[in-house]
Amino acid sequence: MNEDFEYAPEIVSVSDDDGKNYDFEVLDRIETDDGRYVALVEYFEDPEEILRNDSEVLILKVTEEDGETYLSQIEDEEEYEEVSVLFEERFAELYEEDDEAAEDE
For each of the chain's 105 residues, which pLDDT tens digit applies?
Answer: 556 667 778 899 888 889 999 899 999 999 999 899 999 998 888 878 777 777 788 999 999 999 998 899 999 999 999 999 999 999 888 777 655 655 666
pLDDT of residue 67: 92
This prediction has a pTM of 0.75
Q: Measure the CA–CA gap between 63 and 37, rounded to whole angstroms.
A: 9
How many domains does one find in the chain? 1
Domain assignment present for 50: yes
Residue pair 76/61 in contact (Cβ under 8 Å)? The answer is no
For residue 15, give its domain range.
11-104
Give me the sign of the Cα torsion angle 9, 15, 16, 22: positive
Shortest CA distance to 47 belongs to which of 9, 88, 90, 75?
Answer: 9
Residue pair 28/90 in contact (Cβ under 8 Å)? The answer is yes
pLDDT digits (tens, 9 = 90+) for 16-28: 889 999 899 999 9
Domain assignment present for 58: yes
Domain assignment present for 2: no
Strand partners, 37: 30, 61
Domain assignment present for 69: yes
Domain assignment present for 62: yes
